[in-house]
Amino acid sequence: MNLDFSPEETAFREEVRAFIAENYPKHLTGSGLRDDMPPEDLVAWHKILGEKGWSVPAWPTEYGGTGWTPTQRYIWSEENAAVNAIMPLPFGTSMVGPVIYSFGNDAQKEQHLPGIRSGNVWWCQGYSEPGAGSDLASLQTTAVRDGDHYVINGQKTWTTLAQHADWGFFLCRTDPDAAKPQQGISFILIDMKTPGIEVRPIKLIDGGYEVNETWLTDVRVPVENLIGEENMGWTYAKFLLAHERSGIAGVARSKRAVEQLRDIARKELLDDKPLMEDFDFARKVSQLDIDLSALEITELRTLAGEEAGRGPGPESSVLKIKGTEIQQRLTELTLEAVGHYGTPYYRDVPDAGSNEYPIGPEYAQHSAASYFNMRKTSIYGGSNEIQRNIISKMILGL
């Protein structure tokens, strides 16, 4: 038992660090993803990685994966987190991509995988529906066969960044008479330019527009766009959800955020001394630090299990719960650190960027919005309540 990286792993770290330093777009360094960025910024790094052949490390090598070990992938994510890199969006690379190479036919692989790898095709996810929430299988969107086409009608929601999407993958009910809600669902790829699709942005409590409602009205989709077998979509959907959960602990990013929090707390004052020297505040930061250490080792243990061939099972639910709790706590403490300057609503400040007096320190500007926005993490990707249900059933056997 030891925590050391092998010489090969250390060399790998140096290689990727150098590559990132040289190639990551300078104007994006450290900024992280925000919904109000120009869309080309969101895929800039993806496109660079596509050219390098590093955009889909976890894929099988025959489809363009890098063949890295789980430890190498961990190092890769750590190094990217260090510059707060905007990684390839998951909808193509981690969600539909693996479904296509696992269950799609050759034509589908040929048509779609290159665009996903290169970042030239933007994908979105059509899973959730209004009213469905954690009960995904209760979906109502229908796909009715009409000759060589499916005619699709329904409404999807929480379609992240669909405003920029070229393609989407959708779960639709193809057999309304199936015995169970999980049956009779099909997994269909849809060109987002098809007539009848309307994407309406949803304003969130932080003021941003990262998700959408997507309305489908008599959308005609060629039957070739069906993945796998008709009515077997739930199988592919579950496969996809298991993929989605890996990496959700977000340890590397949270470590970086703890350092940013410490930086802020060194600049903010309490009783004329750095807030970081206030015992109350220092204690909260140390608690977060300790919780994050525990999560990191837990993730490494899971990773070690993966390398030994034990796939990520229900333990990933623990990573999701603790990971999101830490992410939320981080933004809560950051908001607390900035004091009064968490109150202004910076998005709507008139004449922002003008020569007027600034409002508070720059690091305060996203503090409230981030705190509000991060409440989503314990809701999405299977709410933390659902994760507890999973652990209760799968691990504790209750």
Task: By CB under 8 A, name the binding residues for its own copies.
Answer: 279-280, 283
Does 349 bind another protein (CB under 8 A)? Our answer is yes
- Which one of residues 145, 238, 310, 388 is an interface residue with another protein (CB under 8 A)? 388
- State both tokens at 313: 């099972």
Report the residue from 111, 153, 260, 383 that binds another protein according to the rule CB under 8 A: 383
Please, which residue, 279 or 357, has the CB nearer to its own copies?
279
277 binds another protein (CB under 8 A): yes
- The strand pairing partners of 156, in sequence order, are 214
Environment class of residue 345 by beta-carbon count within 10 Å: exposed (0-12), middle (13-18) or buried (19+)? exposed
Q: Which of residues 216-275 bind another protein (CB under 8 A)?
A: 268-272, 275
> Toward another protein, which CB reaches closer, 128 or 174?
128
Phi, psi (degrees; rounded to nearest 5) at 358: -75, 160
Quote the CA–CA distance of 212 and 160 in Å, as a whole number.
Answer: 6
Question: Residue 279 CB, nearest distance to its own copies (Å)?
Answer: 5
Residue 315 touches another protein, criterion: CB under 8 A = yes
Of 147 and 176, the one with the shorter C-beta distance to another protein is 176
Are 145 and 133 in contact, with CB atoms under 8 Å apart?
A: no
Counting residues that bind another protein (by CB under 8 A) gives 92
Radius of gyration (C-alpha) of the chain in whole angstroms: 22
* Residue 369 touching another protein (CB under 8 A): yes
In the list 168, 281, 288, 323, the residue contacting another protein (rule: CB under 8 A) is 281
Nearer to its own copies, 95 or 276 (CB): 276
Which of its own copies, another protein, none lies near 322, with the C-beta cut-off 5 to 8 A by kind? Answer: another protein
Residue 277 Cβ vs its own copies, minimum distance, rounded to whole Å: 13
3-state secondary structure of 190: strand
- Judged by CB under 8 A, the residue of 198, 202, 229, 313 near another protein is 202
Least distance in angstroms from the C-beta of 389 to another protein: 7
Q: Mark 69-108 with x for binding to another protein (rule: CB under 8 A) and - for no binding.
A: --x-------------------------------------
DSSP string, 241-308: HHHHHTTTT-HHHHHHHHHHHHHHHHHSEETTEEGGGSHHHHHHHHHHHHHHHHHHHHHHHHHHHHHT
Q: Which helix (H) or strand (E) holds 83?
A: none
Q: Which is nearer to another protein, 348 or 362 (CB)?
A: 348
Burial code (b: 16+ CB inside 10 Å, e: under 16) for 302-337 equals bbeebeeeeebeebbbbbbbbbbbbbbbbbbbbbbb
> Residues 71, 72, 73, 77: is their CA dihedral positive or negative?
positive
Task: Indicate which of another protein, its own copies, none lies near residue 205 (CB less than 5 to 8 Å, by partner kind).
Answer: another protein
Residues 126-165 that bind another protein (CB under 8 A): 128, 131, 133-135, 138, 157-158
Judged by CB under 8 A, the chain residues 5 through 34 that form the site for another protein are 5
Using CB under 8 A as the binding rule, whether residue 385 contacts another protein is answered as yes
Q: Does position 395 bind another protein by CB under 8 A? A: yes
Residue 178 binds: one of its own copies, another protein, none (C-beta under 5 to 8 A by kind): none
What residues act catalytically?
Answer: 244
One-character DSSP codes across 128-188? --TTTTT-GGG---EEEEETTEEEEEEEEE--TTGGG-SEEEEEEES-TT-SSTTTTEEEE
Q: Which does 122 bind (CB under 5 to 8 A by kind): another protein, its own copies, none?
A: none
271 binds, among its own copies, another protein, none (CB under 5 to 8 A by kind): another protein
Q: Is the dihedral of CA 297, 299, 305, 308 positive or negative?
A: negative
Instruction: Tell whether residue 199 is a contact of another protein (CB under 8 A).
Output: no
Single-letter amino acid code for the residue at 332: E
